[in-house]
Chains A and B, each alone.
Chain A
């Protein structure tokens, strides 16, 4: 079922050859700058809610540090897959493993809602992300560092209620990042944001992923967001992986480029043709 859509990438190929050329253009990196993530292996995964079989046998390998986007129509099981990966639901059949580990503690999830504690200031909300290290001596310093990574160092003493939607989501990102997780799962994290804020958040996500090299799993309904961020896009239909598409565009991704638009178009036509069949 794997249809790797390799779009022609003259620029990237040029760049890789340019190593030998004297007038080398800067080589643009495909991979995160450093890989610290965990690989993910899913075998024969099934999940039902009552009579409704949501996932009907998922087999998937994600190499460490890969940025994978999962797209599909609503109700196709993409969020369920993410919740199973994060250990938020019980598996009916099959297995999920992360290298040698079954459920490492440092999987972090970012949801569509920021889920900040309204009664805790921004900095202590970020400290929540430290898990068991919350009460350690350098908790403040680490939380402050994570806050400045998302550009909100000056909001540390604010209540969440005074922040904008985008700022709240950035605090949630800092909370997810503060413990340096090896797997970060995103469940429509930008779904509730306006278009401009969403684009700047996408840039931020791409930057922190390249800086930290965690394995990223992004569930989204927005195909353009998927191709803008991911190395690989999985299309889920009726509880199965229907398409597995590699995105070989250079990073940082240029928004609105022809190659991304072409890829987006072909993924969308997959999604829509499935619609026509039913």
Chain B
């Protein structure tokens, strides 16, 4: 089988590299199918507008500047919230991974807080912050904190103790040991935390903006629902999907750049 393949399709005649395009075949096919279903009336437009209508709605909002403004506001909230929650989670992960004292002092508390679904705090957060920016940032930061904290901690704790012993034999100072052995060893796990956190970041933001906001994508979707603009509602959902994909791709690029030593990321 493989012999026949290699004869009929030798390397040189193979189609140009299409890995980047292959992943878009399924989403595009779904949109095409959806368009056909809408045109033929198989799906009533009141239930689900045709992709072309959604695109048109997007175009109108783009021209009015409303779309760009809302995307920007949401993007800004997501990034700042992620940075705040991520840094605090990373710092606690480092501290508790490296120091027994710090772990004993804070880990139990953090584990208790972790078991409260952070979205359950929305009523409290609204009472504290109103529907201000800080309410959204607080919720996103809180949601992002735990996956990054847990995975940083796990990454540091699971660094191969044999490598740490090796570092000590070769006279590494604590700082060197961290820089050369512990941090690079924990990095794959930290990236798992980052990718989890990115998912939670969008989820939290959507919910927060849907419930209490006066701008942003979630607000745009809620406004559209009030006025029965179903095409704008669908548009918002699609933009969320795209932004989520974008965030994931960004973390993949970063992962590839920093984990090039890892067999899983080496070019074949």
Partners in one complex: yes
Taking a contact as CB atoms under 8 Å apart, the answer to whether A129 and B261 are in contact is no
Contacts of A108 in B (CB 8 A): 169
Taking a contact as CB atoms under 8 Å apart, the answer to whether A109 and B169 are in contact is yes
Taking a contact as CB atoms under 8 Å apart, the answer to whether B184 and A117 are in contact is yes
Min CB gap A116→B, angstroms: 9
Contacts of B266 in A (CB 8 A): 159, 161-162
Q: Taking A86-B169, A132-B171 as contacts, is the C-beta distance between A115 and B163 under 8 angstroms?
A: yes
**Extra pairs beyond A117-B163, A119-B262, A162-B266 (6, CB < 8 Å):** A108-B169, A115-B166, A117-B181, A119-B187, A128-B166, A131-B171
Q: Taking A111-B162, A115-B163, A117-B163 as contacts, is the C-beta distance between A105 and B184 under 8 angstroms?
A: no
Q: Tell me the complex Cα distance, A109–B170, Å.
A: 9
Query: Is B174 on the interface with A (CB-CB < 8 A)?
Result: no
Q: Enumerate 12 A-B pairs (CB-CB under 8 Å) in ascending A order.
A: A88-B165, A107-B169, A111-B166, A113-B162, A117-B163, A118-B262, A119-B259, A120-B261, A128-B166, A128-B172, A161-B262, A162-B266
Taking a contact as CB atoms under 8 Å apart, the answer to whether A118 and B170 are in contact is no
Q: Tell me the complex Cα distance, A181–B259, Å.
A: 33
Give the size range of A's interface with the partner.
20 to 34
Interface residue ranges of A188-225 to B (CB < 8 Å) = none
Taking a contact as CB atoms under 8 Å apart, the answer to whether B263 and A115 are in contact is no
Query: Is B180 on the interface with A (CB-CB < 8 A)?
Result: yes
Interface centre among A107, A111, A119, A159 (most CB of B within 10 A): A119
Q: Tell me the complex Cα distance, A119–B172, Å.
A: 16
Q: Is the interface of B mostly helix, strand, loop or mixed?
A: helix
Q: Tell me the complex Cα distance, A108–B167, Å.
A: 11
Q: Tell me the complex Cα distance, A111–B170, Å.
A: 13
Taking a contact as CB atoms under 8 Å apart, the answer to whether A131 and B184 are in contact is no
Residue numbers of B with Cβ under 8 A of A are 162-163, 165-167, 169-172, 180-181, 184-185, 187, 259-263, 266
Q: Tell me the complex Cα distance, A40–B259, Å.
A: 43
Contacts of B263 in A (CB 8 A): 161
* Choice from B166, B167, B172, B261 contacting A118 with Cβ under 8 Å: B261
Taking a contact as CB atoms under 8 Å apart, the answer to whether A131 and B261 are in contact is no
* Nearest chain A residue, comparing its CB with the CB of B160: A115
Contacts of B163 in A (CB 8 A): 115, 117
Q: Tell me the complex Cα distance, A118–B163, Å.
A: 10
Min CB gap B193→A, angstroms: 18
Taking a contact as CB atoms under 8 Å apart, the answer to whether B262 and A128 are in contact is no
* Nearest chain A residue, comparing its CB with the CB of B180: A117
Q: Tell me the complex Cα distance, A117–B162, Å.
A: 10
Taking a contact as CB atoms under 8 Å apart, the answer to whether A120 and B180 are in contact is yes
* Nearest chain A residue, comparing its CB with the CB of B168: A88
Q: Tell me the complex Cα distance, A105–B167, Å.
A: 13
Q: Tell me the complex Cα distance, A162–B260, Å.
A: 12
* Nearest chain B residue, comparing its CB with the CB of A105: B171
Q: Tell me the complex Cα distance, A77–B165, Å.
A: 20
Min CB gap A39→B, angstroms: 21
* Nearest chain B residue, comparing its CB with the CB of A114: B166
Taking a contact as CB atoms under 8 Å apart, the answer to whether B170 and A129 are in contact is yes
Taking a contact as CB atoms under 8 Å apart, the answer to whether A119 and B166 are in contact is no
Contacts of B259 in A (CB 8 A): 119
Q: Tell me the complex Cα distance, A120–B187, Å.
A: 14
Q: Tell me the complex Cα distance, A120–B163, Å.
A: 12
Contacts of A132 in B (CB 8 A): 171
Min CB gap B188→A, angstroms: 10
Min CB gap B164→A, angstroms: 10
